[in-house]
A and B are shown apart, each in its own frame.
Chain A
Amino acid sequence: MPRPPIILEAEGLERFEIDVASSNGAGEDQGVVKILDAVSLTVREGEFLTIMGPSGSGKSTLLHCLSGLDRAQKGRVRLGSTELYDINETQRTLVRRRFLGFVLQFFNLLPDLTVRENIELPLLIAGERPKFHADRIDELMEVFGIQGLEKRQPHTLSGGEMQWVSVARALSTRPSLLLADEPTGNLSSRAGAECMEHFVALRKRYGIAILLVTHNPRDAAYGDRVLFLADGKLDPSTQLEGPDLDAAAVFSRLEELGI
């Protein structure tokens, strides 16, 4: 069976921050913190890839750099057929709009918009008329079981409901890749598990590729493939893949790596 084409490819991503506080000693590296250190990875169409890393390992930074929300100082990112770092900010945004859905670490719903308006927002941003996509919005709300909440304001929702809304929002433009930044981070473990089941179901239903970062081994085990990120380094040889991928396997790999 031929492998599906690559949808996202990153090579040698390096990201530094000037850290004023840690100016200890002399040398060229004075005060510079490496947040991403030569990170390379690929995501194929329809694949569910999870990246496992402890808090502060650079997961959010990596997602921001991959999506073009931010730039790495070194390396390249190809999204579809576009080299993200060869184009300007506006063009990057347009590409992101077309290919990506983004589930942010915090729910980040807009407070004045109703649930439905929040979900329709990316369509509006893309210059489309939500009316023409009403069927899909309805379907998404049904998938996440939030049909009844349409007219509600975000501050009246539970944490889980907020997260369903924000995932539904990320999917409203039919992206081919969904980036999720610790979607279960602010949820109870039950709601977290439910959330992960949703991702699995989504992939089945829409054939969408998912790149999810998490610090929770149980969540990581939902992926087809798990990469491990530690101190901004991602070693491809440590990845887990295959039929016997489960939480226990992730745990033991973490033990091995000493994370």
Chain B
Amino acid sequence: MRLLFFLVSKNWASSHLRLVLTWLGVALGVAVVMGIHILDHNTILSQLERRRWAYGEVDFELRPKNTQIQLDAALAELRKNPDLASVGLLNRASIRMKNEAGTVARAFFYGLSPLARNPFGHYRVARGKAPSDLETENRVLLPDTLAEALGLAIGDRFIAEALPLEVLGACVDGRLVSPDRKEKAEDLPRAELVLSGILEPVRLARQHAGLVVIGSFGLANHLGRHPRPVVQVDRAEGVDPDRLAASFREDYVVETERSALIGEDADERAFRNGVKVLGALALVLGMFVIFHTLSHSLAERIRRLGILRSLGATQSQVSQVFLLDSFLLAVFGAVGGLFGGIGMALALEGLGLTTLGFGKTIGSFELPWGDMIVIALLGVGFTMMGAAFPLFKIRNLSPTRILHARDLAPPVDLMRGVHVFLLVLLVLAVPVTYLALTPLLESSGQGAVMILVQVVGIIALAFALLLLTPRLVPVLGSFPLALFRRSQALGCFLVRKQLLRSPGRIGTSVCGLTLVALAMLGLRSLTASLKGEIHGFSQEALAERLFVRADSSELLPRQAWQRIQDLPEVETVLPLLALHNSDLLMVGTESLPLAAKGGVFEGAPDLARRFSKERTLVLSRRLASLRKASVGDRLPILVGSRVEQYEVLAVSDRDGFFPDERAFALIDLRWMKQDFCQEPNIVRDMSLRLAKGSSYRDAERSIRKLGYPLSWVQSGQNIESFYLKDVDRDFFFFDVLLYLLLVLAGVGQVNLITLFTLAREREIGVLRALGLTRQDFVKVLLLESLVLGFLATLLTLVIGLPLSYILVHGLREVSGLSVPFVFPMAEAMAVSLLIFVVALLASLLPALRVAGLPPARAVRAPE
């Protein structure tokens, strides 16, 4: 043990630079992975918290499409579903409450089943206790304010009765129903209730300004006039919410509480998937850097090991020394990475970044210790593997062979075989495990996974080519060298020797840099393609359009549409009446302008006729692809308490774009009235198609002159640029992550070159003694990094093109956007340049260090 610690401390004292670099490599590798993970954890946590604060831990609400369904049977079925953690029922009823003194209050009765167990956390009891689930139970919970208003204390009794229908109203055939005869008060369903407990003012108890009663499901059914029970479900840990929702769509109308609109949901999913893939990339790269830093740092010191062996140390003694050395380094590195990761997450959060993009706020900063420890352990594990690899390779070599291992006998390549090992481990095993643990959120079956497999496949293929056939390295490297053959004969000569001597090391560096470059390029091509998609959309939906929104106090009556239509600058007016119906944004409009020039029904008057006569709709492209619906399909739409089938007449973005939301369904205003009782002669929004040659500004001026109170006038052009900015803003987060990864790759690079140069100290001394100047030597190192940059750029471009194509294709599959493929040539050049800069910068540290070395000392360096 004394020997062990003595030798380890000597190892460390012998080169501070090596020590610091190795530590930095491990720490940074761990920190980046850790930082991303912590940030993601807190982002999701805050999202959940926000939702839960407002409601309860409900993932989906399901409404049976078939209203005649046996609820009990359906429920039993759902309870058997292993993907669900909890299943419950909820029904709402509007009631009137009366205390003994005759004070009356209106309230919403929430009937829950199960009630007492409260699996979704719908409520919290402040005082008293929750009633049981029994059908006959008449005990309920009230918020403090309501109890006070009625002067009720726990244990007090009061009367609750259903609201008469004429008060309640219901949309039947376009009219809020008031039945022909008034109901007799004594016929109304009623119940005598007992106050069992007081609710904390959270979740359900905060709804409807606190006018809420919570009791059993049976009571709600009894008091409710139009029973519309919903099934509430909470998915089991780790179950993909989207796949789950899809599995219910056949029998139920699915409402997500996560966000009201399906489009926003899909964006968030895509974004988080991106973060996850980048997280996997960070993991791979981090572990790659860690492994290589360690294994090279050890391989370069392998001669010491030979000396120890020749002095009588056993193989296992020697291994212990080096493994202890790496273990201590790994632990210090992991601890550094832990704090670094926390700092990084804090910094990113401070920048306003979340793993759901900009503009979401993170309220919490919680550290997921379990995961963090796993990441740290992973770092330690890879460090140890890196250390063990060269030791494993020399296990059967005699001490004298080891002594000669580096200096005299290049054929004994310690790192041979490491690439196969790493390729299998890093490119396949790690990402697969990672993604198995944090599955991608998908909206379209196996699509996302397939894309990932393709991406990994193509990268693995290219890297395998380079790493498994190292002879390619000197061959390819000779091209850039040819440029300098005249001016830098010596440099070319030495670099070529380097390429021949350690193609594996150089191939490794190239792959590390390429990985980041590819991620950057892939991202750029996604951005470029998304922008291309926005451009395409804007051509169809935004060009020559002006969008107008009325002030909420005074909406736009039919007469206003007419007056605007009469303006010379305006070609057609499309009134837009938006309604959020379950998870769908429905926009009511007129059929006439749709049939006009440029409209979706241009030249198809029979379609326009059907649009207003039958239950039909026009889907925006985005909604169509998200719902996988096409022309002729019938979509079930929730109408009051029933479900009506609406037929898809067309899929188009030409008309009806509702500012801010691209997933919507257009229906005729007539049906808005018929099925949803929306007043068809007043709208808040309008989309105007401008007459040829008239400018936005003129049109806006003329419209404002009409004197309607408008809160918002936007040109299509403005909206397009807003969308484009949105893309940039969202991708900024990825940019930040990628630059972090680039730094990581750069540090790995610095490590490799420095360790290598340190090991060559003596050789460099010889060169100096033979007349090589410092400047000459720096030039050689720079030339070497130039070759490295060249190889990385070459590889990036060769893989980048197909990779970008796959990514964009994948985006198309997953997002359902008709994204064109745009390869960002200028950005590709910029990325290449960046790679060159990083490669050059990375060789600067070793270059400066070597330049500062007195040659006499180098010559004396131990052999």
Using CB atoms and an 8 Å cutoff, list the residues of chain A in contact with chain B. 60-61, 64, 67, 69-70, 89-90, 93-94, 96-97, 102, 104, 106, 108, 110-113, 121-122, 124-127, 129, 153-155, 169, 173
Contacts and interface: CB of A to CB of B under 8 A. Distances in A.
Nearest to A155: B408
Contacts of A122: 770-771
B501 interface: yes
Contact of A60 (B493, B763, B775, B860): B860
A141 to B, nearest CB: 18
Nearest to B406: A111
Nearest to B492: A124
Given A70-B854, A94-B773, A104-B766, 14 more contacts: A64-B859, A69-B768, A93-B772, A93-B773, A106-B863, A108-B859, A110-B763, A110-B767, A113-B497, A121-B767, A124-B489, A127-B490, A129-B489, A154-B408
A108 B762 contact: yes
B408 A111 contact: yes
Interface in B804-863: 854-857, 859-860, 863
B493 A124 contact: yes
A153 B497 CA distance: 13
B175 interface: no
A125 B859 contact: no
A47 B21 CA distance: 50
20 contacts: A60-B860, A64-B856, A64-B859, A69-B768, A70-B854, A90-B775, A94-B771, A102-B769, A104-B766, A106-B863, A108-B766, A111-B406, A112-B500, A112-B501, A113-B497, A124-B489, A124-B493, A125-B770, A127-B489, A127-B490
Contacts of A96: 771
Of B489, B498, B769, the most chain A CB neighbours within 10 A belong to B769
B699 to A, nearest CB: 73
Contact of A69 (B407, B408, B501, B856): B856
B766 A110 contact: yes
A68 to B, nearest CB: 9
Interface in B592-650: none
Contact of B859 (A89, A104, A124, A127): A104
Given A104-B859, A112-B410, A155-B408, A126 B771 contact: yes
Contact of A90 (B409, B770, B773): B773
Interface string B314-346: 000000000000000000000000000000000
A69 B769 contact: yes
B243 interface: no
A230 to B, nearest CB: 21
A93 B768 contact: yes
Interface string B390-411: 0000000000000010111110
B404 A155 contact: yes
B835 to A, nearest CB: 27
The 6 closest A-B pairs by CB, nearest first: A97-B771, A155-B408, A70-B856, A64-B856, A93-B773, A108-B766
Interface string B497-513: 11011000000000000
Contacts of B855: 69-70
Classify the interface of chain B: helix, strand, loop or mixed.
helix
B776 interface: yes
Contacts of B304: none
A189 to B, nearest CB: 22
Nearest to A169: B770
Contacts of B410: 111-112, 153
Contacts of B489: 124, 127, 129
A113 B765 CA distance: 16
A94 B767 CA distance: 13
Contact of B771 (A89, A111, A125): A125
Nearest to B860: A60
Of A61, A97, A111, A173, the most chain B CB neighbours within 10 A belong to A111
Contacts of A89: 773-774
B859 A69 contact: yes
A102 B774 CA distance: 18
A67 B762 CA distance: 18
Given A96-B771, A155-B409, A124 B490 contact: yes
Interface string B727-769: 0000000000000000000000000000000000011011111
Contacts of B763: 110-111
A69 B48 CA distance: 68
A154 to B, nearest CB: 7
A93 B771 contact: yes
A70 B768 CA distance: 11
A56 B769 CA distance: 21
Contacts of B768: 69, 93
A97 B766 CA distance: 13
A64 B855 CA distance: 9
A173 B770 CA distance: 10
B859 A90 contact: no
Contacts of A121: 767, 770
Contacts of B500: 112
Contacts of A124: 489-490, 493
Nearest to A96: B771
Contacts of B771: 93-94, 96-97, 122, 125-126, 173
B496 to A, nearest CB: 10
Nearest to B486: A129
B408 to A, nearest CB: 3
B771 to A, nearest CB: 3
Contacts of B854: 69-70
Nearest to B771: A97
A243 B410 CA distance: 49
A124 B857 CA distance: 23
A153 B856 CA distance: 25
A90 B778 CA distance: 12
B506 to A, nearest CB: 14
Contacts of A112: 410, 497-498, 500-501
Contacts of A110: 497, 763, 766-767
B780 to A, nearest CB: 10
Nearest to A128: B489
A90 B776 CA distance: 10
A153 B404 CA distance: 13
A93 B767 CA distance: 11
Nearest to A157: B408
A86 to B, nearest CB: 17
A104 B769 contact: yes
Contacts of B859: 64, 69, 104, 108
A257 to B, nearest CB: 27
A36 B277 CA distance: 64
A102 B773 contact: no
Interface in B479-531: 489-490, 493, 497-498, 500-501
A94 B774 CA distance: 11
A109 B771 CA distance: 15
Nearest to A129: B489
A104 B493 CA distance: 23
Contacts of A125: 490, 767, 770-772, 776
A156 to B, nearest CB: 9
Contacts of A93: 768, 771-774
Nearest to A89: B774
A154 B409 CA distance: 9
Given A112-B500, A154-B408, A155-B409, A90 B766 contact: no
Of A94, A97, A110, the most chain B CB neighbours within 10 A belong to A110
Contacts of A173: 771
A47 B620 CA distance: 97
B6 to A, nearest CB: 18
A41 B855 CA distance: 23
A47 to B, nearest CB: 22
B91 to A, nearest CB: 82
A173 B863 CA distance: 26
Interface string B766-800: 11111111111000000000000000000000000
A64 B858 CA distance: 11
Contacts of B497: 110, 112-113
